[in-house]
Structure 1
Amino acid sequence: MNKYIIVLCMLFTAFSFGQHKRDWEKIKSLKVAYITEKLALDSKEAQEFWPIYNEYEEKRHALSRKDHTQIKDKLKNSDALTEKEAKKMLSLKISIEEDEEELDKALLLEVSKVTSAKKALLLLKAEEDFKRDLIKQYRQNKGGR
């Protein structure tokens, strides 16, 4: 799940450049509808699921920003990086990866409590399918490969 979320975040970040906030909101709305349909959430499940998922996405996004600002931006000048700085950044990267993994685990456990274990697993598939469909649509709109 970790790799898929990272790719999805990167895709959303890349897609948002040159796009309007309205387009970003449209993608979010499409994702909500897509996941709700794929998980076949009833109204009670949806009421409990979406606050959990939205909080997860906010925390995931914060970790992604932290990774980007504290590690990836600094790697652009990797020639000037000392070994001490590299060790510190490596330690931070590992910590961020561990935080992401814990966040993923917590999401699955919480979702399984408010829906079912099966729907928690279906969430993984739904996220992957949404990402794949979004990439496919993006390429078609850009006349891509």
Structure 2
Amino acid sequence: MKKIIILFTLSIFLIGQSYAFESCAGDQDHNDRWERYRAEKVAFITTNLDLTPEEAQKFWPVYNQMEKERSEAQKMRRELEQKINDTETKLSDKEIIKLTREFAGSMEEEGKLSSKYNEKFLTILPPQKVLKLYQVENDFRMHMFKKFRDQRRKEGERP
């Protein structure tokens, strides 16, 4: 259970980073980078999950829908976070309680999405591959963190 929470937290962080990246880059540049990221992720998951062509045909539409819904839920949560950060005046206890409940509800919604899609994946893939999917997603995040870190180091070395 602890690993699932860590994986979920890391996925939230990575998607949050992608949105922060979006605001820094131009639209076309961002779209190009996002497409390269998505292509790399698809290749990484397909290869490491050892999907058969039949499994891949059923899996990717469901996975892509999950990613879309997860992104929307995380966007709503980030908007709540921004609302909290933008509040310059002191809030009443009642307003704070309302915000905390909305925030907790948004996190609960993301958890429900994970459970919903876990069940869908279990109808498409063998249970071992569903479990491996979570490991592969984490491996991909670590791969991207390392790649980003290495790229930053190289940029720092340039004269």
Q: Calculate the TM-score normalised by the size of structure 1.
A: 0.91
- Separation in 2 of the partners of 1:119 and 1:7? 24
Which residue of structure 2 lines up, in the alignment, with residue 18 of structure 1? Answer: 25
Tell whether the 8 Å contact from 1:35 to 1:126 is kept in structure 2 after alignment: yes
Q: Which amino acid aligns with 1:47?
A: Q
- Separation in 2 of the partners of 1:141 and 1:77? 33
- Separation in 1 of the partners of 2:151 and 2:126? 36
Unaligned runs of 5+ in 2: 1-6
Q: CA RMSD in A?
A: 1.7
Tell whether the 8 Å contact from 2:77 to 2:107 is kept in structure 1 after alignment: no
Which residue of structure 1 lines up, in the alignment, with residue 119 of structure 2? Answer: 109
- Separation in 1 of the partners of 2:143 and 2:17? 12
Q: Which runs of 4+ in 1 moved over 6 A?
A: none
Q: Does 1:92 align with 2:102?
A: yes
- Separation in 1 of the partners of 2:109 and 2:85? 24
Residue 79 of structure 1, CA deviation? 4.5
Tell whether the 8 Å contact from 2:77 to 2:103 is kept in structure 1 after alignment: yes
Alignment length (residue pairs): 144
Aligned identity (percent) is: 27
Q: 1:7 aligns with which of 7, 10, 13?
A: 13
Q: Does 1:74 align with 2:80?
A: no
Tell whether the 8 Å contact from 1:2 to 1:100 is kept in structure 2 after alignment: no
Which residue of structure 1 lines up, in the alignment, with residue 4 of structure 2? Answer: none
| Larger Rg computed on CA atoms | 2
* SS of match in other structure, 2:94: helix
Tell whether the 8 Å contact from 2:73 to 2:106 is kept in structure 1 after alignment: yes
